[in-house]
Amino acid sequence: MPTPPASLNKPNKVVVALLDGQRLKGYVSNFSAIRDYFRLFPAENSPHEAGTDVQFKALKAIFFVKDFEGHRDHHDAYNLNAPGHGRKVEVTFHDGEKIAGTTEAYNPQKPGFFLFPADPQSNNTRVFVVNSNVQKVSFL
């Protein structure tokens, strides 16, 4: 039996990085940076009441991932000379963590922006960076 086509509304796998250092894993659908929260679900097909509201003010970033296990032995190599869309940036969070990639919509006046990893082998497909918890954004 053929596999049905992927739905446009299929939930995304995410790892949510909270300011207190916690990492939550789950699923998000209909994510919007316009709201000040989103709903995190424990499973792909969870009912609405099984989700938990996560406030943006508690967030460092939301990592949209290929899988939850990640690649423990893989350390992202930031080849910023590789072709990509948008502007090349390095983001430094208040806790000192840095990530690099490209963005098409950085605006410090907005709640946040999407960053696309510089390493195509990264487990992250994209990262939503919360502006209020960023120490510095450097254009490369």
Continuous segment of H or E residues that includes residue 112: strand 112-117
Task: Output the furthest CA–CA distance in the chain (Å, rounded).
Answer: 51
27 or 9: which leads in pLDDT: 27
pLDDT digits (tens, 9 = 90+) for 79-128: 656 666 789 999 999 999 998 899 998 999 999 999 998 887 888 999 99
Residue 62, pLDDT > 50, answer: yes
**What is the band of 75 on the pLDDT scale with cuts at 50, 70, 90?**
low
**pLDDT for 8:** 54
pLDDT digits (tens, 9 = 90+) for 114-127: 999 888 788 899 99
pTM for the structure as a whole: 0.86
| Interacting residues of 33 by C-beta distance below 8 A, sequence separation 6+ | 110, 111, 112, 113, 128
